[in-house]
Structure 1
């Protein structure tokens, strides 16, 4: 049975309850929503022994202050936000026990770490048992645009109280907790330290683009613009992408990760809150195992596309699952059963 676990003391706009989203609803014009960095949520849930799709908090704007209302456990993954629990540092990618009355504070990523060349963008807070809010269309994810899911269909605000599903706090073998090897280290990709690399499968309209556009798409870096959010990521580059023959297209279904090219020639990548249909030509689609890399790109960061085929995409998915399986084994060794505790 769930019970109150966290009180929101302070938060900017846009932070929300998210899980892995609500697939299967596109036929109604409803996108998946869910945690943009789905891998960060899965890591947090693996460390705490939760189900992979247990809901957590997606934190995009800072500072954030939360009060713990009862003993339990949390995991912080995603961006390094210089987290402090009652003033004591909490490492990133870390699970630990918490006690009633403690206060967790998170700062903007990179605000106190000048050694971070490219601070990540979003943090994920997972809790033992998962954040417990009503399911809507099979998911607890917040759909802010449609005002349903999550906590009353809206972003978090000061004074909110969030329930968690675990009635009994898990026991840690080490009271300091334990951590995970971050995905950026465990699943490296690309050799350009100034840019993030993602793998892309060419899409239906790829052959319609010019040879020069093909070369620019794969070889040139693309910069993330400030006009990027949970709906999509707008990019700008030195060579606009052009089709050899420009033809009008009917709107058709699109999915998260699709790289569309509007008339200006600068790509837009659809993300979790993006449209379910669109008429811009598609250059490619970012493979699912690399969507978490997009989720952590701040404005002005450079992005490179690496060509990929279906077999390579499947191999990447298996590599990611092996990584998560290793974390579940780590959790089994680091958390004690109620009997052992």
Structure 2
């Protein structure tokens, strides 16, 4: 397994919420400790200097944060190979090996059957209180302060563009409320982030949900009531076709940025009346779209299953949460 590449924040020993004054104090402390003239390690001193050069300048820090710590990584050549961020990435199948299928483990309203909730008389791990990795320890400065890491929801929909802003904001608020009620309330480790900025093209992503070592990217759309057919690329309603939000390329990009996580995309299709079983969406034979649009009932069921069936689903993976928090617009 390749070595972990520390972020600039880790090198200086400050949280991602650190002020410029805190960064300067941490730099002076670290520079004295690692300066070669004082018997320190030249490699560590270079890491400290690079971290300070980036984090002490607002423009460079913003670019670094929006790249999710990849625009100016702490890499050193060793033996002709670059160190890479190691991770516990599972197979990118959207389901942990041996996990029950959605049909077998969930009820029609998105609830979980008793046999999925309990194993050998015990509660399933996803329903346990959240634990933090790495754990918070006295004397160790975490990447995210404990009180912030404990918050189930971060960020909010933001105004962007000139047209349709209010409708979009209301739709995203409704989506966040649905996730809050039906997912966060069920999975204590789940963390909802509203309004991420994609480093691929500066596009906005409505929502992301992190639980354990799984990350769900979520977009939503509003359509009139009725029956729709999904042909793999469009929702078809009579003579009308509607393209869902383009999310697949963002999923691929975030998977590359977070190799330690399993990343999957979800598109919620809602109707004005808020009926969770509307619209009815039939999947045409042979439709092989990467991300199938889902009504609210199926969306909740599939999202809950994805997050709860992963490895260590009751874990809040603090390094990933820290990177995502810096990507909020």
TM-score under structure 2 normalisation?
0.22
- Normalized per residue, the structure richer in strand is 1
**Whose Rg is larger?**
2
- Normalized per residue, the structure richer in helix is 2
TM-score under structure 1 normalisation?
0.22
